[in-house]
Amino acid sequence: MGPKESNWILVAQCPSRLGTVDVVTRFLKESRCYITEQHSFDDRQGGGFFIRTEFRPEAEGFDRVAFEAGFAERAAEFDMTFELTAPGTRMPVVIMVSRADHCLNDLLYRYRIGQLPIDICAIVSNHPDLASLAEWHGIAYHHFPITPESKAEQEAKVWVVVEETGAELVILARYMRVLSSEMCERLSGRAINIHHSLLPGFKGAKPYHQAYDKGVKLVGATAHYINDDLDEGPIITQGVESVSHTDYPEDLVAKGRDIECLTLARAVALHVERRVFLHASRTVVFDR
């Protein structure tokens, strides 16, 4: 286990008040914990304070229960909510996908080599196409076809998978169906979607071909938490790459696939490392 993997993570947020940084750092010092990384942000417009701290205990026999109880007493004065994550924690996830496999393949590779601290509990799809890929990785694959008439029934099956696996995060890795308002509400703050991000925006079929016809000079992707507004949830991260007149539609598609993979993987990493805070309709992101 390397130095980063041996660190505990403490994240907290509260209203803006004098002493918010001190209450965290002082308690860690008194608990004989050495801070290895720290980020904080005070939103002077929205009035919120956010902090993420990685630390390692210097004393033997670190007592998590005692630490949380002690810090809760200090945090109460600031109306501060917090979460403590132990070293080596791997977040259980469910991946949803349709037919395009580039984002799924990328996540599976990063998972296989240990780059992402996740456990992929299941893959859910509205098509059977990628079942063999899941089988090769030893991951359960659930094929739940969907029609406008069966949407509620299909989403009920998806929810059973999420609950039975204990998934803390759902990754929409090019899942090409719109989730219902009820499903978005259930997964609020714990479902990440990826989609292309082009200027100007191109709706409908073959967006990269439309972009080529307009002579765009940038292609990009956006990873965000889902909400009831299609592709307009709180943004976690975005990626962009230059293109030129020498790039044909198939080149734009290929570059788009690459940037979607990188942007989604980065968003997942930021989420599972507890670097993202939801703040109204926006996010606070402490990058690596």
d(CA 248, CA 256): 12
Point out the catalytic residue in the list 42, 43, 231, 251.
231
Nearest to 119 by CA among 87, 148, 91: 91
As a whole number of angstroms, the distance between CA 150 and CA 80 comes to 43
Give the chain's length: 288
First CA to last CA across the chain, in angstroms? 19
Task: Tell me how many helices (H) and strands (E) the chain has.
Answer: 8, 13
Dmax (CA) of the chain: 64
Residue 231 known to be catalytic: yes
For 71, residues 6+ apart whose C-beta sits below 8 A from its C-beta are 10, 27, 82, 84
Name the residues annotated as catalytic. Answer: 231
